[in-house]
Amino acid sequence: MKFVDEATITVEAGKGGNGCLSFRREKYVPKGGPDGGDGGDGGSVYMEADGGLNTLIDFRYTRRFKAQNGEGGMGRNCTGAKGEDLVLKVPVGTTVIDIDTNEVLADLTEEGQVEKIAQGGFHGLGNTRYKSSVNRAPRQTSNGSEGEFRNLKLELKVLADVGLLGFPNAGKSTFVRAVSAATPKVADYPFTTLVPSLGVVRTERNRSFVVADIPGIIEGAAEGAGLGIRFLKHLARNRVLLHVVDMAPWDEQTPAEAAVIAVEELAKFSKTLAEQPRWLVLNKMDMVPEDEREERCRSVVDALQWTGPVYRISAIDKGGVQPLLMHLQDFLDQRAEAFAADPELLEQENETRALIDAEARLHIQRLRDAMRARREAADSEDDDDFNDDDYDIEVEYVR
């Protein structure tokens, strides 16, 4: 199955049925009067969050959707049938955006959540509706109104409590393997992880949380380099980020340099996202000589001017992992209790997430505009090589 986290579609609600112009015509019933019925309402378009879906692949090739029109009214005061509503099922975590107005129409974050996206047209009135004491044979009717038409952008953001941020080969996928039953691909080359993967971490019998691994970011990611910029939006819904740093890098870049670059790229993508709770995780400590460990760790902390939590782990052999997991679980439980006690806190968090989404969309749009301007300035002959779907990802989905 392919993993697609963005799609552009058009939806159109059904047109309302027209009213009927009719008069009663029966034997032995002179002057039967008007009996034209109303039309039926047009069908509306709804979006439903389905927990069984994990990709927007269904909207990759079929991009036009239309609800059923309402039927016209008939004689004998018969009302036309209502158009059938159209329900489009999307993965949980999908945001629906009106392209023309840039308005967020729905944010489907709970399984079974249903939101109306396009209103069906109102039915027309038959001539029965116009009869009165002074107008006993009305010939007026009204037509049904048109249904709403919308150009939509669907954005899928994976739902997880904890998100992993870091350079390629920092050990993020190994960490997910170590703490959950998920099996993302692990190899000794960069960008082994091509799509986000989720793992459920069970700390105790009835306590657990979800961790998300996204492809690593590199220097220049905010300007379009690498894959990370395409997936950073998936971190917008996380309650805490783990900044994973490779303490035994395979290239000449020091851990401190890599850590600083990752934070800078994150801030370029969304300043608000960079200000969210973030913990520092120094990975691959088993590969660092004992006499160098303290110095290397101190260099990263000093380079970041770090004052938050710092954890030294070795994901490959799970060294130092368990205390980190328990602290994460306690932190998430405390946040959940705070939200339950004060609904305003949850509302503030939702506003923050909406702000992160807006900043991310603005940054990506600016990046696309800049790339388009460079292409036009160069007057490239390969015009067909660039289009607005350059940031729609379609790669293998790793369960």
DSSP string, 254-281: -HHHHHHHHHHHHHHH-HHHHTS-EEEE
pLDDT in tens, 47-87: 999 988 878 888 988 899 999 999 999 999 999 999 999 99
DSSP secondary structure code for residue 247 in this structure: S
Query: Does residue 28 carry a pLDDT above 50?
Result: yes
333 assigned to a ligand binding site: no
215 assigned to a ligand binding site: yes
286 assigned to a ligand binding site: yes
For position 120, what pLDDT does the model report?
A: 96
Which sign, positive or negative, has the C-alpha torsion 292, 296, 297, 298? positive
193 assigned to a ligand binding site: yes
170 assigned to a ligand binding site: yes
226 assigned to a ligand binding site: no
3 assigned to a ligand binding site: no
- CATH 2.70.210.12 residue ranges in the chain? 2-156
192 assigned to a ligand binding site: yes
Query: Does residue 391 carry a pLDDT above 70?
Result: no
Mean pLDDT of the chain: 85
Task: From residue 157, give the alpha-carbon distance in Å to each of 69, 107, 341, 356.
Answer: 33, 10, 27, 12
For position 377, what pLDDT does the model report?
A: 82
pLDDT in tens, 164-206: 988 888 888 889 988 988 777 776 666 666 667 788 899 888 8
- CATH 3.40.50.300 residue ranges in the chain? 162-389
97 assigned to a ligand binding site: no
Numbers of helices and strands, H then E, in the chain: 8, 16
* Separation of alpha carbons 254 and 167, rounded Å: 12
- Alpha-carbon 11 to chain mean position: 18
For position 392, what pLDDT does the model report?
A: 43
Of 147, 136, 119, 145, the residue nearest 39 (C-alpha): 145
And the tokens for 289? 């000589």
Region 352-368: mean pLDDT is 79
Task: From residue 151, give the alpha-carbon distance in Å to each of 48, 64, 103, 113, 285.
Answer: 18, 9, 11, 21, 50
157 assigned to a ligand binding site: no
316 assigned to a ligand binding site: yes
Question: Residue 245: CB partners within 8 Å, gap ≥ 6?
Answer: 166, 167, 170, 255, 258, 259, 262, 280, 281, 282, 283, 300
127 assigned to a ligand binding site: no
171 assigned to a ligand binding site: yes
For position 390, what pLDDT does the model report?
A: 46
Q: Give the start-end residues of each E strand in 158-260.
A: 162-165, 197-204, 207-213, 240-246
Query: Does residue 385 carry a pLDDT above 60?
Result: no
Q: Give the start-end residues of each E strand in the chain.
A: 2-3, 6-12, 45-50, 64-66, 86-91, 94-98, 103-108, 114-118, 149-156, 162-165, 197-204, 207-213, 240-246, 278-283, 310-312, 395-396
213 assigned to a ligand binding site: yes
309 assigned to a ligand binding site: no
For position 67, what pLDDT does the model report?
A: 96
133 assigned to a ligand binding site: no
Region 308-336: mean pLDDT is 91
Of 39, 153, 136, the residue nearest 97 (C-alpha): 153
* Separation of alpha carbons 374 and 380, rounded Å: 9
166 assigned to a ligand binding site: yes
* CATH assignment, 162-389: 3.40.50.300
314 assigned to a ligand binding site: yes
Bridge partners, residue 126, by sequence = none
For position 157, what pLDDT does the model report?
A: 81
172 assigned to a ligand binding site: yes
pLDDT in tens, 96-144: 999 999 888 998 988 899 999 999 999 999 999 999 989 988 999 999 9
CATH class of 2-156: mainly beta
Pairing, β 240-246 against β 162-165: parallel
132 assigned to a ligand binding site: no
287 assigned to a ligand binding site: no
